[in-house]
Amino acid sequence: MEKLIKIKRALISVSDKTGIVELAKELYGRKIELVSTGGSASILRNAGFKVTEVSKLTGFPEMMDGRLKTLHPNVHGGLLADRDEKSHVNAMEKYNVKEIDLLVVNLYPFAETVRAGADYAQCIENIDIGGPAMIRAAAKNFKYVATLVDIEDYEGLVNELKMNNGCTSYSFRQKLSQNAFSLSAYYDAMISNWMLDNITGVKPRRFSISAALSQDLRYGENPHQNASFFLDEYLQGGIGASNQIQGKKLSYNNINDTDAALELVNEFPQNDGAAAVIVKHANPCGVGVADSLVEAYRSAYSCDKTSAFGGIVALNCIIDEESAREIIKVFTEVVIAPDITEGARKIFSSKSNLRLLITKKSTVHASSSKVINHIAGGYLLQDKDIETLSQNDLRVVTKRTPTGNEFQDMLFAWKVAKHVKSNAIVYAKDRCTVGIGAGQMSRVDSCRIAAKKAEDMAKTQGLYEIPTRGSALASDAFFPFADGLEAAIEAGASSIIQPGGSIRDDEVIKVANDAGLAMIFTGMRHFKH
């Protein structure tokens, strides 16, 4: 039989006052003594409740601008005491420590303070100390104490008290304890990662993930896998900060693919032109930049119409009516953009299942500066690949220098290749992709696959010339042998951009020179496994 604990005394100290008066009313009606701190005490007293100030328990006033309120044996003893241990009971009697049966705490709004753009000192002041200390004490002692840290759980407590005549059950307190420790860990991780972001050149000895549940998903990558979506509330960027204004709930794969699409479209600022990205299974199948959004989308779609079916579309500017009409011609899972006109929204409404997401100001590399990959037994942590090329990074290694148009297409293809799974090959012409080879074990295979896809698309569109003729090719890593370059030459590429650094660079350069190609070395690799 579960051990029931009668709640006689509750300590309330909340930053977010939502629902606290209603909860206090339920507690007060059961003749539970209310103990509280500063602002919480004032609100409860103004609502007509008799409240015992924490300072009366401790014998000390709140001091040091609120930094010191609850850090006292009379508080922590009341939370931590083992009531079945005689020495603990004797200590409580000797020092007049009163039992606390319920702790209701939520913490200083650190994440909100950071997101609001507060300066460093203000963020530091919004690091809660007393709250987490009390939470950990109460949660450790869940055998006797119920620890409430989420407003969403207030109703559950009320129901628990009704069901058990003012008592809490062991299982209920244990569940609350787990949730309390998860909040404490989350809060500390958030602060630690914020501090890490504000220190340059530091490799942390420990790294914690800080995320809060956003929604449960129907399933994961496959129907037999359970899945959930967690948000980093400190960062609040990317797809996590977008607003879904239409369509079915996002799936695991939707979220994963949309994130990939958003990351790629962020490579193209609006002042460079309208950009459209189509992604399938986390790989781009078409990217276009043009003077208008509808042109950009048509260019992206023409690269691989087959793969675009059921894909994700990411755009870098406001969706207009013409673009919306073009997009709905093809079955699309998700469309994400900074905004949408009312007319375009009405057009999309004819496809009720299409998921439409608006990102507003969250489109610029809003995710963490770190990339975390889970492996069996641990995590791999690395900096995010956000390095950009400068003119000084580029080195023409062939006899022929690229033309202005070739140079433009090479840099465009390079940006796209960064987001294609390795080995990555991208053919581009006139600021749109014409062939993409992804995820092959051999670079030469990626070259050939990309060219073959371009050839197949040309046939379906009735084109007389393969689009790769006169294109720029980007490779995410160096060519280890000349065979990859030979495949590119066969496809008709006229210019190449690649990192360089192979022991056979001289051989590769010779092949390029013999074919009359222009080639640039970047000195930077973009593996994306």
Catalytic residues: 140, 281
User: Which residues lie below 8 Å from residue 275, measured CB to CB, with a gap of 6+?
Assistant: 265, 268, 287, 288, 289, 296, 315, 316, 317
For residue 300 the two structure tokens come to 């992206």
8 A C-beta contact, residue 278 and residue 308:
yes
8 A C-beta contact, residue 493 and residue 437:
no
> Contacts by 347-354 with C-beta closer than 8 Å and gap 24+?
347/321, 348/246, 348/324, 349/246, 352/246, 352/247, 353/247, 353/248, 354/246, 354/247, 354/328
8 A C-beta contact, residue 275 and residue 268:
yes
Q: How far apart are CA 278 and CA 327, in angstroms?
A: 11
Query: Maximum Cα–Cα distance for the chain, whole Å?
Result: 96
DSSP structure class, residue 317? S
Altogether, the residues listed in the chain come to a count of: 529
Bridge partners of 6, per DSSP, are 167
For residue 335 the two structure tokens come to 């469309």
DSSP structure class, residue 63? B
Helix (H) or strand (E) holding 229: strand 227-231
- The candidate with the shortest Cα–Cα distance to 526, out of 370, 373, 385, 368, is 385
DSSP structure class, residue 182? H
HEC secondary structure over 329-392: CCCEEEEEECCECHHHHHHHCCCCCCEEEECCCCCCCCCCCEEEEEECCEEEEEECCCCCCCHH
User: Which residues lie below 8 Å from residue 240, measured CB to CB, with a gap of 6+?
Assistant: 214, 231, 232
For residue 43 the two structure tokens come to 């609100």
Q: How far apart are CA 117 and CA 452, in angstroms?
A: 50
Q: How far apart are CA 17 and CA 132, in angstroms?
A: 17
Residue with tokens 């006139």: 430
Q: How far apart are CA 466 and CA 75, in angstroms?
A: 77
